[in-house]
Amino acid sequence: MKNYTDAELAAQPVGYWTRAANTTVVGYISSRLGELDVTQHHWWTLAHLGQSDKGLTREETIALIVRIRPYVDHTKMAPAIDDLLAREMLAPDAEGRLQLTDAGVQLRDRVKVLQIDSRTHIHAGVDDKDYVNAVKVLRRMIGNVGGDADYD
């Protein structure tokens, strides 16, 4: 990794670094999820259905995930749900509400461990104070240009 002076870094465009970080980190996470034959869309479905006591319909699942994560390509949600149904990770109850099967719970739990491990790897050498400061700076910049700097 090239070393830059603080003055050189201060002159570099934030857009470059945020795109580079997003592309690299999301690529890493997607690769790790692929080890368990899942995508982020699968993971979001497993995680959110696992938090629902009474399950969710397909439409409720998609709407919830798109609302919580507005950057999600919603066209990939239905195929992810269909794939999880075909792999018997989900099953509809008598009312058509999707529930995690035992295999789905096991997969969700394995992905949780993988996500924790991935976050630990991504954050290696970055203490919480530096991370918090970086997020505060990005939130300020987003707000400065009229964007929504909130995370739900």
Per the CB < 8 A criterion, the answer to whether 64 and 56 are in contact is yes
| Max mean pLDDT range (47-56, 71-80, 124-133) | 124-133
Angle between helices 58-68 and 40-50 (to 10 degrees): 110
Report the candidate in 101, 103, 106 with the shortest Cα–Cα distance to residue 91: 101
- Asked whether residue 131 carries a pLDDT value surpassing 90, the answer given is yes
Output DSSP code: residue 56: B
- Asked whether residue 113 carries a pLDDT value surpassing 90, the answer given is yes
pLDDT interval class at 152 (50, 70, 90): low
Bridge partners of 99, per DSSP, are 91
In the chain, % of residues over pLDDT 70? 99
Bridge partners of 92, per DSSP, are 98
Q: 88: which 2 tokens?
A: 């018997």
Rounded-to-integer distance, Cα 13 and Cα 79, Å: 37
> Across residues 64-84, what is the average pLDDT?
85
Beta strands in 25-103 (DSSP E): 90-92, 98-100
pLDDT interval class at 58 (50, 70, 90): confident
- Asked whether residue 30 carries a pLDDT value surpassing 80, the answer given is yes
Angle between helices 40-50 and 102-122 (to 10 degrees): 120
Rounded-to-integer distance, Cα 31 and Cα 12, Å: 29
Q: 56: which 2 tokens?
A: 């969710």
